[in-house]
Amino acid sequence: MTPPTATRTPAVVRDAWLRRYRPLDAAVVRLVCFPHAGGSASSYLGLATALAPAGVEVLAVQYPGRQDRRSEPCATSVEELVEGLLPELRQWTGEPFALFGHSLGATLAYETARRLADLGERPVHLFLSGRRSPTVPRRDTAHLLDDRGLIDLIARLQGTEPALLRDEEMLRMVLPAIRGDYRVADAYVHRPGPALGVPVTVLTGDRDPNVSVDDALRWSQVVDGPFGVCVLPGGHFFLTERAEDVRAIVEGALDRAH
């Protein structure tokens, strides 16, 4: 993949939904990244930095209800998030783009790809990380937990710094977004439709308590294109534990897409 020869230096925030931490004027491909439940665009700062030398610009999605969008109400459904993002995202889809989502973000990346396909636009690759296939029967009620139960759940997934979970003031700030995102994830119902005809890579941790390898493999039931599953050492947040492996997988797949 040939690196770009020019860069821009605009403000990080371009609009409400997308963050450009490492803007590339001549990006070979742009990778739109969807955070996990309770996560924010800044969770992809490391990946943006790691992929920039290869000419891949990361556009990180910022959901309402957190960080600089904290004053906005959280979304109530996957559909609301997808439709809210689309107008700004489609400003970038005239050039090669790919989608990457982790956990709840994987569901959003998948549904965004489906919505774009309805509009005649397709990513060059779709990365689905840390999420079971929507064909796996599920009954999730995490959003109904009380605050202590929700904090304990987050702690078990090991994706949050322990110090943060002991900071009462910080918890009061972030718990509404976490609970709102779990409400969105728990309410999601897969809508049957045509298989998604794009290349797909599924990433999963071999010790993820929420996603078995079989759950990950079953993504093949809803896509119709080149398909692969990468099983990495780690739990639900192998994404941070194995950041270099994830970067290599993404960069390799995007390199083959051109």
Q: How far apart are CA 83 and CA 50, in angstroms?
A: 29
Query: 62 and 75 in contact (C-beta within 8 Å)?
Result: no
Phi and psi based region of residue 120 (left: phi greater than 0; alpha: psi -120 to 50; beta: remaining)? left
Cα angle at 129 between 56 and 20, to 5 degrees?
A: 35
Q: Are 107 and 185 in contact (CB under 8 A)?
A: yes
- The amino acid occupying position 133 is S
Which sequence positions are flagged as catalytic?
Answer: 103, 236
Tell me the CA distances in angstroms from 162 to 41, 148, 157, 168, one per residue in order. Answer: 20, 14, 11, 12
Q: Which residues contact 211 (CB under 8 A, 6 or more apart)?
A: 130, 131, 132, 204, 205, 236
Q: Determine the Cα–Cα distance for residues 48 and 45; give it in Å rounded to an integer.
A: 5
Helical spans, DSSP H, in the chain: 45-51, 78-89, 104-118, 147-157, 162-165, 168-187, 213-217, 238-241, 243-256
Provide the residue type at 35 as one letter. Answer: P
